[in-house]
Structure 1
Amino acid sequence: MQISHEKVDAYEPDRSLKGKVRRRLIRLAHRRPARVKLERPMVSFSFDDAPATACEAGAQVLEARGLRGTYYFAAGLTGRDGPMGRFATGDDAARLHAAGHEIACHTFSHLDCGQASQAETLADIDLNARHLAAWGTDAPVSFAYPYGDVAAPAKTALAGRFKTLRALHHGLVANGADLNQAPAVGIEGADGEQVALDWLDRAHRRKAWLILYTHDVSPQPSQWGCTTGALERLVDGALTAGFDVVTVAEGARRIGL
């Protein structure tokens, strides 16, 4: 499989008033409410777009503690340079899969599901799934909307295809949470670690499932990533607090999906 080394530029999602209204309204429509009853709180550590550092340093943090994470691959980015550094390759995905990590699905080209048509979205996801299969990974059961954005055509079309469809708005997977647009909390930016800690506290009190995500993992991450130290502290804090640290697929299984 040929890898492009073309630079990937940062993309700006739709920030217009129309886009903001659509994002607010879509969270009220086409919902699939979760039923969650847990004896212990759960947390999943996930990595969007699979920068190489997430597949290396991020995986090492989890594996050193006997844990595994979820990697949302956009196969069209593999091997390219971007604002988060070099993206991982299919070989990296195969290695992660062999080590027990979950290889999950983005769109192939990191397509914005909030602005693309239903046909464009489905074609891009089908292409991504074929690449993941060619890498020897399992058929993906977890999906994340690039940029956290989605419109009604894509949300309805994907509802029965994946166990969870993850967005980017803050929240917990607790009773009533929408599995077609599941909440998640980013470990990113200057206050990312503290924000994640605050949500871990909420999940612990409610015995809920928290999905955390980040992008690159390095001593000097991009604005969308986190430091290796921050990831280590969050993982260790979750374990000390009695969380079950699970992949997104395992979390879905535990709530009966």
Structure 2
Amino acid sequence: MQVSHDKVDAYEPDRTLKGKLRRRLIRLAHRRPARVKLARPMVSFSFDDAPATACEAGARVLEARGLRGTYYFAGGLTGREGPMGRFATGEDAARLHAAGHEIGCHTFSHLDCGQASREATLADIDQNAEALKSWGAGKPVSFAYPYGDVGSPAKTLLAGRFKTVRALHHGLIANGADLNQAPAVGIEGEDGEAVALKWLDRAHARKAWLILYTHDVSETPSQWGCSTETLKRLVDGAMNAGFDVVTVAEGARRIGL
């Protein structure tokens, strides 16, 4: 998404050859390998950009089962309208935090960390962390790259600042996974549920940690979101399969971070 003064527009990633090569090569650099040994598989349900529906319908699904999720807020989007509906507010973040959900950090303006300078990235993240603090949402320990994109300046900058720094490429957090560019799997689009189920099976077989993410949660979701029923089925399926359903912060704690 691109942020303007009046609205939030859909974002188009850098599709040039240079952009594609950068995204491929950065996964090999500045790595922080995970050490994972779990008795049971884990899964985290996370919500990027915190659309209001995720903070309402999504939270209800988790709370009804005694569970909590991770919400990555971008302070500059709060309360505005976008392609996923209205974004939640700082008051929503404070409410979620008080209820035991984790409030994670995006960049304030939903800055593309793949193309921004080190200075611009640092300033935007500092601004976002201050916004979260002012809302009473706690100090963030989990970060997600907006659009899942990252370049060398941002990856080196964030290496020691957060316990986990999450991207969007598919994978599990098992031994050797890069915690500076952690994999995740999206519950979005027509095949989102089927893709998530496939990765839940893989995580179960390996006793690994899977981070799932989506955006809005409603009966008529955007192309980046999922339906309420889809979320219910995935949460119930994970619980029935013996997964520990944890926030990203709790998952990091359990692997020793």
The bucket for the TM-score relative to the shorter chain is: over 0.9
- Counterpart of 1:51, as a letter, is P
Structure 2 Cα separation of the partners of residues 223 and 15 of structure 1:
19
Matches within 5 A, 1:37-186: 37-186=37-186
Structure 1 Cα separation of the partners of residues 54 and 107 of structure 2:
18
Determine helix, strand or coil for the equivalent of 1:129. Answer: helix
Moved over 2 A (4+): none
The verdict on how the C-alpha distance between 1:202 and 1:160 changes in structure 2, with shifts beyond 3 A counting, is same
Q: Percent identity?
A: 85
Aligned position for 2:199: 199
- Counterpart of 1:115, as a letter, is Q
Determine helix, strand or coil for the equivalent of 1:46. Answer: strand
Determine helix, strand or coil for the equivalent of 1:71. Answer: strand
Structure 2 Cα separation of the partners of residues 178 and 253 of structure 1:
16
* Alpha-carbon distance, 1:138 to partner: 1.3
Instruction: Give a deviation string over 1:2-30, Cα, whole Å, max 9, x none.
Output: xx982100111111100000000000000
Aligned position for 1:12: 12
Instruction: Give a deviation string over 1:168-202, Cα, whole Å, max 9, x none.
Output: 00000000000000000000000000000000000
Q: Considering only aligned residues, what root-mean-square deviation do their CA atoms show, in Å?
A: 0.9
Aligned position for 1:35: 35
Instruction: Give a deviation string over 1:79-138, Cα, whole Å, max 9, x none.
Output: 000000000000000000000000000000000000000000000000000000000011
Structure 2 Cα separation of the partners of residues 154 and 7 of structure 1:
26
- Counterpart of 2:154, as a letter, is A
Asked whether the 8 Å contact 1:5–1:81 carries over to 2, the reply is no
The verdict on how the C-alpha distance between 1:58 and 1:5 changes in structure 2, with shifts beyond 3 A counting, is farther
Structure 1 Cα separation of the partners of residues 6 and 245 of structure 2:
36
* Alpha-carbon distance, 1:231 to partner: 0.1
Structure 1 Cα separation of the partners of residues 164 and 80 of structure 2:
27
- Counterpart of 1:36, as a letter, is V
Asked whether the 8 Å contact 1:184–1:212 carries over to 2, the reply is yes
Determine helix, strand or coil for the equivalent of 2:174. Answer: coil
**What TM-score do you get using the length of structure 2 for normalisation?**
0.98
Structure 1 Cα separation of the partners of residues 50 and 138 of structure 2:
17
**What TM-score do you get using the length of structure 1 for normalisation?**
0.98
Asked whether the 8 Å contact 1:186–1:192 carries over to 2, the reply is yes
Asked whether the 8 Å contact 1:41–1:204 carries over to 2, the reply is yes
Structure 1 Cα separation of the partners of residues 5 and 215 of structure 2:
19
Structure 1 Cα separation of the partners of residues 46 and 37 of structure 2:
22
Gaps of 5+ in 2: none
Determine helix, strand or coil for the equivalent of 1:110. Answer: coil
- Counterpart of 2:38, as a letter, is L
Asked whether the 8 Å contact 1:71–1:103 carries over to 2, the reply is yes
Asked whether the 8 Å contact 1:5–1:79 carries over to 2, the reply is no
Determine helix, strand or coil for the equivalent of 1:56. Answer: helix
Asked whether the 8 Å contact 1:41–1:209 carries over to 2, the reply is yes
Determine helix, strand or coil for the equivalent of 1:37. Answer: coil
- Counterpart of 1:203, as a letter, is A
- Counterpart of 2:232, as a letter, is E
Matches within 5 A, 1:220-235: 220-235=220-235
